[in-house]
Amino acid sequence: MPRFRADRLATLYLFRPLGPVFGRVSPSVPILMYHSISMTDEPRCRPYFRTVTHPRVVRRHLEILARNGYRTATLATAGERLRNSSAAPEKLVVLTFDDGYADFCSEAFPLLSRYSCTASVFLPTSYIANQPRYFGDTACLTWSQVRELHRAGVEFGSHTMTHPQLAELPGAEVERELKASKAEIEDRIGAAVASFAYPFAFPGHRPGFRQTLNRQLSDAGYLAGVCTTVGIASSRSDPFFMERLPVNTLDDDALFEAKLAGAYDWLGQAQRLYKRCKRWRS
């Protein structure tokens, strides 16, 4: 039995039935947000905040995507489709993996290959070296693994150099985080880097910060980006801060399918409202 969680109940029994009422903006692309893929349990972490997905659950997700007629695309490709607002003749989905963990290579990639899927992996470049380094308790990819995966069709994007909360840094340092990480990945894989993933919770409710970062990303040469705002990305999304659907081990089939159908987007709206209220009161 899935454990009790309010977001699951509201999604499955309130917003999923209401889905046909609101409909979806077209074209739209669900972008899934994974982190570590392993059998590690996270008992002390509340369900919504867990970031580990069991390989068995990833396999179920890939089966569900195939059964529902989805084709995986890299973030660069999906971003281009949405920017040009071209009505996609096919259902696209993007699988993103943050933090550059080595278990992407050992656990996720074999499954992706089996289901003929591609993915976009976001590297905090200070943690990627010729020998494995650790981000928290988890080993990261090495540059030789990155090169090999890139040759196999995986997209690599920047997740900054040091994984800071960018909103706390002076402008010059933000620019360095954006530019140096991009340059290093490009140098290591010998190909252009187009995509960026914002580390930590995205302060999208701070319009000044958002606007400045948008310009800095554009100046650094990025074309597409994702953040932690919950929802399905569409042609109306900000191309540098596209919404994602967070997933983890606790995403059973019903919740996962509801998320793909847009029935989880309410959470993004609720979080936005909550942050605005907090700002007005402070």
Site for Zn ion in 232-261 (CB under 5 A): none
79 binds Zn ion (CB under 5 A): no
Which span (13-21, 80-88, 91-99, 223-231) binds Zn ion, by CB under 5 A? 91-99
Compare residues 235 and 271 and give the one whose CB is closer to Zn ion: 271
One of 79, 100, 157, 199 touching Zn ion (CB under 5 A): 199
Q: Which stretch binds Zn ion (CB under 5 A): 57-65, 80-88, 127-135, 192-200?
A: 192-200
**In the complex, minimum distance from the CB of residue 18 to Zn ion, in angstroms, rounded to a whole number:** 32
Of the candidate residues 38, 65, 98, 185, the single one contacting Zn ion (CB under 5 A): 98
Query: Does 177 contact Zn ion by CB under 5 A?
Result: no
CB of 135 to Zn ion, least distance (A): 8
The residue behind tokens 């996720």 is 108
Q: Is 99 one of the binding residues for Zn ion (CB under 5 A)?
A: yes
Q: How far is the CB of 87 from Zn ion (least distance, A)?
A: 32
Give me the 101-140 binding string for Zn ion, x by CB under 5 A, dash otherwise.
Answer: ----------------------------------------
Q: Spell out the SS3 assignment of the chain.
A: CCCCCHHHHHHHHHHHHHHHHHCCCCCEECEEEECEECCCCCCCCCHHHCCEECHHHHHHHHHHHHHCCEEECCHHHHHHHHHCCCCCCCEEEEEEEECCECHHHHHHHHHHHHCCCCCEEEECHHHCECCCCEECCEEECEHHHHHHHHHCCCEEEECCCCCCCHHHCCHHHHHHHHHHHHHHHHHHHCCCCCEEECCCCCCCCCHHHHHHHHHHHHHCCCCEEEEEEECCEECCCCCCCEEEEECCCCCCHHHHHHHHCCCCHHHHHHHHHHHHHHHHHC
- Of the candidate spans 92-100, 127-135, 187-195, 269-277, the one that interacts with Zn ion by CB under 5 A turns out to be 92-100
Stretch that binds Zn ion, among 82-90, 94-102, 105-113, 171-179 (CB under 5 A): 94-102
Binding residues for Zn ion, rule: CB under 5 A, are 98-99, 199
